[in-house]
Structure 1
């Protein structure tokens, strides 16, 4: 069959239009996948999720993707520039507007606090870190590194493990008063990036320490599975709370505590605070304690229904494996995609 010249031109135009539409559809799919593959702090509600929920107003495009506050990792030495910390580098500039009244604040108290992330992709994780603004910080100027205490008040090292889609950090928030900003940083293990969320908080009640801070925290009697901690007495204290890796692990009415059930060859971080009927002190300086023996990392159990990418680590039948590339349903120890770890 012979097609006339006008019809040939028509078919060519239709092919070009169809190809363009297909390309646009593919690009849209890629962008949607890219925009959804992240996470945000849901509780206490971050500045970004409060924008999405309508508690914060005039926020710009962040209302459509609060999970996308991504920038190079390594803060404070790297990461988003001063003045662009809240927006993770400036892609959502409205978030960088800063004054004492610009953003809705979440009421918070000093002491144990859970920070819950909602993840749309459970990336292999290097760490979770949490920073807070200094006393006397300038509430009416853009956030800079000088606004924050640059030592995190809470750190969780994950060594490349894959978190669940709802992940909670158990932290101890330092004693503050009034309005402060918490910077939550989720560092990804197998990329150069991290996710940055700021949380506007207002300290209410129980924010002023009523006791001195414990000092002289030391460890002795360290074995494969236990360690004994001791510290100097605090005047007026009736008891002490002992925290391991920012989680409460016990209390004591004396100035010592033996922590058992530990893993061999593993490093733990301990802090202590004094308590009485009126309140609690600030946490002591942290002490790192490494148990004797050698350790074998424990990774999440392999699941045949989970997608893994290169660098993801799993355990299966008592052994640890690392994925060489993308895989789904291929059994560790059988499929070549899995590398046996020492």
Structure 2
């Protein structure tokens, strides 16, 4: 019986198959790319722009910081929050001067996600490090305030390429880290982006055309506070007024609150 393949031919065939498998995997990875926070610029995006250096593979894939959802509950491990559970471990290096910072002010700010795959969405939520956090220790849940300073539910809606949120950042000074999380509705995963922020105005970039709008000097809504009819609060960048006595009822969800500005 005639031999159909010589040894060298089999070798080339094997190499071709491996190459095809590799490019199929890379292609699937590109299709599975998802999104990142582009304003203010996330740690991963600044790696992509080579403002941050020695970042590892995230410099090519800032959109791929994907891990199980559930934060701040069981999801990703402490110490691996910046890397979405170790996807790009270089991002978990944490010191006061390891990462370039963006300038922000406390109060109302515009945050924008750039999506490369528009997944049905459960919610978006944002967290910030505590006033007394240690920037020279790993990012753990204990370093963050675990009540999100902004949270909005999309109920499974499919977003566009750009998603913008008007958020109200709590009062901070100096260097802090903000964590933004995008929970996908039809998978078990979420996307995690951290932003290194300088609240003293000594960071590296902030577009002056995107400066924060002025907001009335009302207190930020607190879940444990008691409010009387007529009291005004800020929640998710909007001003709400209580119709009657309330405590623990979230503005925008409970009928006791009405938007006035």
TM-score range, shorter chain: 0.7 to 0.9
Alpha-carbon deviation of 1:24? 3.0
Alpha-carbon deviation of 1:92? 1.1
Alpha-carbon deviation of 1:32? 2.9
**SS of the counterpart of 1:161?**
coil
Instruction: State the alpha-carbon separation in 1 of the partners of residues 190 and 219 from structure 2.
Output: 33
**SS of the counterpart of 2:145?**
coil
Matches within 5 A, 1:170-319: 170-204=166-200, 213=219, 216-218=226-228, 230-231=230-231, 243=234, 246-248=236-238, 269-270=250-251, 288-290=253-255
Aligned: 1:28 with 2:23: yes
**SS of the counterpart of 1:149?**
strand
Instruction: State the alpha-carbon separation in 2 of the partners of residues 28 and 218 from structure 1.
Output: 62
Aligned: 1:17 with 2:12: yes
**SS of the counterpart of 2:91?**
helix
Instruction: State the alpha-carbon separation in 2 of the partners of residues 14 and 290 from structure 1.
Output: 73
Instruction: State the alpha-carbon separation in 2 of the partners of residues 189 and 163 from structure 1.
Output: 11
Instruction: Tell me the number of residue pairs that the alignment of Structure 1 and Structure 2 aligns.
Output: 232
Instruction: State the alpha-carbon separation in 2 of the partners of residues 31 and 102 from structure 1.
Output: 30
| 2:208 alignment counterpart | none
| 1:115 alignment counterpart | 111
**SS of the counterpart of 1:131?**
strand
**SS of the counterpart of 1:153?**
strand
Aligned: 1:130 with 2:126: yes
Instruction: State the alpha-carbon separation in 2 of the partners of residues 87 and 290 from structure 1.
Output: 39
User: Which residue of 115, 134, 140 corresponds with 2:136?
Assistant: 140
Aligned: 1:93 with 2:89: yes
Instruction: State the alpha-carbon separation in 2 of the partners of residues 30 and 217 from structure 1.
Output: 55
Structure with more relative contact order (C-alpha pairs < 8 Å, separation 6 or more): 2
Tell me, yes or no, if the aligned pair for 2:167 and 2:237 is still in contact at 8 Å.
Answer: yes
Alpha-carbon deviation of 1:202? 0.8
Aligned in 2, Cα 1:135/1:247: closer, same or farther, shift over 3 Å?
closer
**SS of the counterpart of 1:25?**
helix
Tell me, yes or no, if the aligned pair for 2:228 and 2:242 is still in contact at 8 Å.
Answer: no
Instruction: State the alpha-carbon separation in 2 of the partners of residues 218 and 161 from structure 1.
Output: 34
Could you tell me which runs of 5 or more consecutive residues in structure 2 were left unpaired when the two chains were aligned: 202-211, 244-248, 257-261
Aligned: 1:81 with 2:77: yes
Instruction: State the alpha-carbon separation in 1 of the partners of residues 138 and 174 from structure 2.
Output: 18
Aligned: 1:158 with 2:123: no
Tell me, yes or no, if the aligned pair for 2:173 and 2:200 is still in contact at 8 Å.
Answer: yes
Instruction: State the alpha-carbon separation in 2 of the partners of residues 101 and 177 from structure 1.
Output: 16
Tell me, yes or no, if the aligned pair for 2:182 and 2:191 is still in contact at 8 Å.
Answer: yes
Aligned: 1:48 with 2:44: yes
Could you tell me which runs of 5 or more consecutive residues in structure 1 were left unpaired when the two chains were aligned: 220-229, 232-239, 251-255, 259-267, 271-286, 292-342
TM-score, length basis structure 1: 0.61
Instruction: State the alpha-carbon separation in 1 of the partners of residues 174 and 19 from structure 2.
Output: 49
Aligned in 2, Cα 1:17/1:290: closer, same or farther, shift over 3 Å?
farther
Instruction: State the alpha-carbon separation in 2 of the partners of residues 288 and 257 from structure 1.
Output: 12
Rg larger in structure: 1
**SS of the counterpart of 1:140?**
coil
**SS of the counterpart of 1:159?**
coil
